[in-house]
Each structure stands twice: as structure tokens, then as C-alpha cells.
Structure 1
Amino acid sequence: MGRVGRPAGLLLLTVAVVGIAAWLVFFSPVLGVREIQVVGNAGLSAEQVRQTARVAGGVPLATVDVAQVRARIGAIPRVESVKVSRTWPDTLRVEIVEREPVATVPSAGRSALMDRHGVVVEVRDVAPPVLPVLRVSRPGPRDPATTAALGVIVALPGDLARRVAEVLAPSAETVSLRLKDGREVVWGGGDRPAEKAKILVTLLERRADSYDVSSPDVVIVK
């Protein structure tokens, strides 16, 4: 009986240990959420992110649906991407990449700040002077002209981008820039952006009213 009883006893002990471990992980507040760590945020407050996550303190970390938390936080207009992960024993980590405005679009007397994908990040009464004004007929992420114009803005070196007052795009192939000093730049389509930007930086050293870099192989200065 003794030899038979020992395996049975070990089995019961194993089952008990597994049961206790499962209870600790999935049901007990011992391994519950005590902190929601938010990193990568600048314009968003950590508290706003925590409230949007809607994860109660003490809920077992293992039972948190990270996909749902990611979806809720990802719906914040300012968020471009988000990663949610568990850090044992008691922390939910939220890593955020925020949308960065690259242009402003006039909207009902106010200014909509738009990111590189054509998504409106926020709307302000007064536009930030460092951002160029985007002039398109149908601003939005699915509009080819908007996409082309934003691609041009992103392609410009920082010093040059800060000199641009307006970006006009009647179509995706007819993008042009108006600099803050009044000079005009004919950019054309979205092809060869890095090459066009490099050529334009050199051309602007020559005083003129208009610069055409729509065909980088044959530029025109007037």
C-alpha cells in the first residue's frame, strides 16, 4: 500500500500546486495590475491613456485583454500606433507613438493639424506658425492630392520645411510650394522627392522668383 500510495500522493500534491498557481495567476489579486506604465507620450497625458485603457487596479494581469486595450488606446486621434504588453508581476506597459502634425488645413475659421498620413490630430483656433498651410480640394487620408502634398512636406529637410508657407496641390501631379519670402516652387508629382529636395536647396541660393524642379533632370529658374 505504501508504494501505491506514494505516486497517488505525489499526483495530488502536483494537482494542488498547479491549482494554487493557476489561482494566483488568473484569479488572485496577488499578481493583479498595480501600475499602468505609459511611455512615448508627449502631447497626451499618461492619465488620459490610463483612463482610456479602462483596466481596473487589482485585476489579474494574466486576464487583461491586451488586444482590447490596444484598440481602445489606438482610437485616440493623437495616437499613430500603440503596443501593450505585460511586465510581471504587476505592470501593464503601454508604448505609444504619437501622430506629429506636419501641416495645417483651414477648417470653418479654425486650423486642423494634419499628420503625414492625412489624419487630423487636433483642431486649433490659431495655426502654429511653423507648420505650412495645405491647400487641397478634398483634404483627407484617401485623397491622392493630399497624400502627394504631405509626401512633399515630409521629404523636405527641416530648415527648408520651416521656410514653406503654403503647399498647393490641385492634383497629385501638380504640387507647388510658396515660401515665406514669396518665392514659388513648382514641385510636380511625388516622384524622386529626395532628389528634388536636394536640388531645391542648392537652387534657392540663387535669387529668383520661381524654381521648377518637377523634372530634376531639367530644372528651370526664373
Structure 2
Amino acid sequence: MNRAWRTVFIALLTAGVVGSAAWLVFVSPVLGVREVRVVGNLDVSAGQIRQATGVADGKPLATVDAAEIEDRVARIRRIESVRVSRGWPGTLMIEVVERTPVAVLPVGGTFALVDRHGVVIEIKGVVPPALPVLRLDRPGPGDPATAAALAVVGALPEELSSRVAEVHAPSAETVSLRLRDGRSVVWGGSDRAADKARVLVTLLKRPADTYDVSSPDVVTVK
């Protein structure tokens, strides 16, 4: 075989190998999806998440659109975030973070459980005992007072959050708390939350009806 034919033969052979490899990866079910593995879910079933992906068994793993699947799974109300990755040779990994209820919002005669962003997760007929009730004029994800109230709830350490029955927020700068024992806390805005919480823990050891920590450097007790 002369040099010219040898060059042509090698080129054809290389093209064949590349073509076979491309077919194997992008077309053949050999490297297709054989398992959709879901992690991080507690309340949302793995079956519901797998169904939301819309990925058929055997679909070439290389052709799976991760961004599209993330968008589909994120439409499940209980899911806060999702990450999709490939695990060769045939596993599609779905890692989710579920929304966690942090407070309750009265809606007519029912109660909406909301997450830290103000997104409604589910509706209950009674108030879950461990969650504070939000008292707001215009509740919603875009409402500054709602955002401030949720920020305060999220900033409370466990030793305080378990004692809060209601969070009142007529405005973003006038947040107040009603404790389960009936005492009141004037919190103010959502700024300096750590300082306010630290001061309040100490103040609550003193008997009083109202504790004002809106300015944690100058507190008052009544």
C-alpha cells in the first residue's frame, strides 16, 4: 500500500472510530439513562421528582438538558432549589433542597405555611404549634414588611424562636413580637438582628410586660 492510500485508509479508520464513539455517546442507549437518583428530598416523593424530569429510560445521558430538567423540577412548589448532574455510565443525579416552613399566615379561616421567601408551601386548617403567626397588612413576597418579618423570624436563635407566638409588622421598620407567655417585644427593623437577639435573651430573665430592643444599645423594659 503506497503512502497516499495509507493516508486515506487511516483517515477513514479514524473517521469510523470517531463516528462510532459519537453514535455510542449521543445516540445509542448503551450510555443511556438507566437510573434517576434523587437525594435531599423529605416531603416530596422521589417518584414525583422523577416524573417531573420527563426523562425517558434509555435516553442518551449526554443529550440530557440539565437546565431544562432543573426548571421542570423547580416547578414543584415544595422545592426551593435543584441541581442536576450526570453520573456515568447511566445515572442522572437530582439533588434538591426543599422549602422549609418558618411561619404561618392567616388566610380566611385557614393558615398558609410560608418559607423564608414568603412562598406558600401548603395550607393547614389549624396553626402548627411550633411556628409563629405573621400579622401583616399586605402579605406577599414583594411586600417590604413581609420581608422584614421573615428576616426577623429567620434571625432568631432557637431559644427565642420557640417562644414567639406572633410577629406583627405594620411596616418594615416596626416589627414586634408577642411571646407565648403574653409578653411583648418591640423589635423595630430587621437590622442588627444578632445584637437584638443577644440582648433580648438577657432581658427576658427580668420580669416585665414589654421589652424594647429596637435600638440594642439603649434598651427599655416596662
Post-superposition offset of 1:217: 1.1
CA RMSD of aligned residues (A): 0.9
Matches within 5 A, 1:62-211: 62-211=62-211
SS of residue matched to 2:56: coil
- Structure 1 CA distance for aligned equivalents of residues 39 and 48 of structure 2: 13
3-state SS of paired residue (1:101):
coil
- The CA distance in 2 between the partners of 1:59 and 1:128, in whole Å, is 43
CA distances 1:82-103 after superposition (whole Å, capped 9, x unpaired): 1111111101111111111100
Deviations 1:45-72 (A, max 9, x none): 1111001111111111111111110101
Residue 33 of structure 1 and its aligned partner are, at CA, apart by 0.4
- Matching of residues 7-18 of structure 1 within 5 Å: 7-18=7-18
Structure 1 residue matching 2:197: 3-state secondary structure = helix
The one-letter amino acid paired with 2:167 is: V
Deviations for 1:101-120, whole angstroms, at most 9, x for unmatched residues?
A: 10000112111111111111
Give the Cα separation in 2 of the matches to 1:15 and 1:126: 68
Q: Deviations over 1:155-211 (max 9, x none)?
A: 110121011000000111110000000000000111111100110011001111110
Task: Provide the rounded CA distance (Å) in 2 between the counterparts of 1:66 and 1:44.
Answer: 20
Give the drift of 1:3: 2.4
Alignment of 1:46-65 (within 5 A): 46-65=46-65
Aligned to 2:43: 43
* Percent pairwise identity: 65
Structure 1 regions of 5+ residues with no counterpart? none
Shift in Å at residue 16 of structure 1? 0.5
Between the aligned partners of 2:11 and 2:205, the Cα distance in structure 1 is 83
Q: What's the secondary structure of 1:20's corresponding residue?
A: helix
Question: Whole-Å Cα distance in 1 between the matches of residues 184 and 62 of structure 2?
Answer: 58
2:104 aligned partner, one-letter code = T
Question: Could you state the TM-score of these two structures normalised by the residue count of structure 1?
Answer: 0.97
Shift, 1:124, TM fit: 1.6
C-alpha distance in structure 2 between counterparts of 1:56 and 1:212, whole Å: 59
> What are structure 2's unaligned runs of at least 5 residues?
none
2:102 match: secondary structure: strand
Q: CA–CA distance in 2 between the matches of 1:139 and 1:38?
A: 34
Total equivalences in the alignment: 222
Partner amino acid for 1:58? G
Take 1:57 and 1:109, find their aligned partners in 2: how far apart are those partners? Answer: 45
